[in-house]
Amino acid sequence: MIHYDVGTWGIGFIWSWKGSVIPKAAFWALPNATLALVLHCIYHDPSADFRMLPMSGVQTVWSSYTLVLCFLLVFRSSQAYVRFWEGTRAINALQTQWLNAVGTLVTYCSHEESKHHAVLRYQHLLVRLMSLLFCVSMQDVAELDDDSFEIIDPHGISQKSMSFFKKTSVEQRPDLLVQWVYRSITDAQLDGVLIAAPPLLTRAFNEISRGRVELSKMRWLSDVPFPFPYTQMITSMLMIHWIVMPLLASQIVESRIWTFVICFVVTLVLWCLGYIALQIDQPFGDDDADLPLQEMMKDFNHTLLLMVNPKSQVCPAFSPAAPLDENPKIMLSWRGDGQN
């Protein structure tokens, strides 16, 4: 994911090459414009024995062709944009719902001294299962050269269970871990580790279930590409445009400089639109503009560890320094770094 600052005038970031599609588009635009310039010099050389091609009606037909190509490229880009933000929304919803479920279950744990060790074992098992669940979910949908993610150390989970887990396919592992989490909740409730009534525990079940729904949407975005006929047609039209554009520009435009500039700019813009669609179509990849899955995994683990921290499970005591007012007023401006 590229984080950029637009600056005071809003144009400073345009010079950044990281994640830019301009270099790839320029790979097509520069030879195209150069070819147009060469053809222009050949056809407009008085000493050369070349005749100008008849151009009557060609401009109208070519304008229609370019209009159709632009429409398809804009449609393709808009669909890629929708897929990108749907993937972003789904992964954030999944992360939030599963963290809410963990927070709910940790809150419902018993505070009896006799249950302390049982509660501790359950909480540590829960965060390890959830960390592993989020990891395998990312591995299921991501298209990465290196799909290794940091997880909370799973040592302590029975070897028999881990051996069975490793034998399952990548697509089945999230479902297996969800089933284990469900079972752990039921067992903890029966053992008195979770003290909430069963109807209250359904909230955790629902949040985990909704996370599975978001995961299925992410799988759909990862497994189902943009329809092949559209992509094939658009790419073919771009190639035809790349071939014909220099020939027409060299015949129609009288100035050599404008022949080069027009071919370069038009070809650059069209190919940029095509590459933008290809780059953002799959948000779970390795491109610079894709989602930061590794960082999201680390944040997920840090939040899980914060939830099982003993200090996080104790409600802060409140001892007012003066008699309380029935209408409390805001008396402090809080800074983000906590230094007040």
> Could you tell me if residue 49 is left (phi over 0), alpha (psi between -120 and 50 degrees) or otherwise beta?
beta
Over residues 26-50, the pLDDT tens digits come to 999 999 999 999 888 887 766 656 5
pLDDT at 293 over 80: yes
**Would you call 86 helix, strand, or coil by DSSP?**
helix
Instruction: Please give the pLDDT value at position 156.
Output: 85
Measured distance CA(134)–CA(157) in Å, rounded: 17
Among 238, 325, 249, 310, CA closest to 275: 238
Domain boundaries along the sequence of the chain:
20-47+56-313
Contacts (Cβ under 8 Å, ≥6 apart) of 165:
173, 176, 177
Measured distance CA(149)–CA(146) in Å, rounded: 9
Spatial contact of 88 and 218, defined as CB atoms under 8 Å apart: no
Measured distance CA(84)–CA(78) in Å, rounded: 10
Tokens, residue 210: 């909704």
pLDDT bracket for residue 299 (50, 70, 90)? very high
Global pTM reads 0.84
Over residues 267-277, the pLDDT tens digits come to 999 999 999 99
